[in-house]
Amino acid sequence: MLNYLKSEFYRILHGREIYWATAVLAGLTVLMNLTLFAFDRLTPDFPYSTVAFSLNMLTGSMSMLLMAGLIIVVFLFSDEYKNGTLKNAISFGISRNAFFTGKCIVCAAAAFLSMLVIMAVYIGGAFLLLKSEGSLPLRQLLKGTAVNLPAAVASVVLASALCCRFKKEATVGLWWIGIMGGVPTVCFFLGLKIESIERISEWMPWNYLKYEVSVNMSGYSCLWDTPEGVAKCLIAGTIGILVFYVGGILAFHKKEIE
């Protein structure tokens, strides 16, 4: 297991996938800040060329953090089947449990490091190009990101499980959207009629990030502003990690390695 982890970290560090994924996502944040900067220069009294507006876009849409986890994992798995890495690893005696666990650990670590770079570029670009109006937007963004890290790791574990199960990236993406977004949405609407389902749906990250986080230019109403909300984010994310890990192990054992 330890040797496999070392080989995976070596492969990722010496490959191009993680660097491409990080560059693309960081580049999008630069483009967004440059767009706001350009509008400020071209449009008199443009009200949105502020650090607060830029950072609030992510603070109010933390589900993008979950999507970023999917993107990173898909990049890391892009050559897995083409190069026969999965088949070779299993044929050389690595158990499926060890393989999947190693993939989850490596992908989560790579995604975390990638996130640090992207956030640094995003925040640095905002403060460099846009008008700053205090530290509250930055504090809200950093706190929201921190408490939702378990949910982001759960997204990475789910994406890793789907990549181990399916060859095509499009199939992985559709299944991920269905599980992370579709199931919570269905549960939310069923919960309007069935109280027990409502209680379950309230603990699904996709739902509480959508309905319990309100961010605009006039203020913040975020569930992580209370101890109960912080606990909810941490517990729900941890449950997601465990559920997707166990589900991924079971699904991977049923897969025929070709």
Interval 175-183 mean pLDDT = 96
Among residues of the chain, what percentage have pLDDT more than 90? 70
CB atoms within 10 A of CB 58: 22
> In whole angstroms, what is the distance from residue 90 CA to residue 80 CA?
13
Indicate the pTM of the whole model: 0.92
The answer to whether the beta carbons of residues 115 and 121 sit under 8 Å apart is no
Mean pLDDT computed over 142-156: 97
Cβ neighbours of residue 19 under 8 Å, at least 6 residues apart? none
Structural tokens at position 59? 């603070």
Alpha carbon distance 151, 145 (integer Å): 10
Residue 258 predicted with pLDDT over 70: no
Portion of the chain with pLDDT greater than 70, in percent:
96
Task: Report the distance separating Cα 73 and Cα 83, nearest Å.
Answer: 16
Q: Can you tell me the mean pLDDT for 188-192?
A: 94
* pLDDT tens digits for range 212-235: 999 987 789 999 999 999 999 999
Specify the pLDDT at position 68: 94
- Which one-letter amino acid corresponds to residue 193? K
Q: What is the pLDDT of residues 90-115, one digit of tens each?
A: 777 788 888 899 999 999 999 999 99
Domain map of the chain by residue range? 2-254
**Computed from CA positions of residues 198, 203, 207, 212, in that sequence, does the dihedral angle turn out positive or negative?**
positive
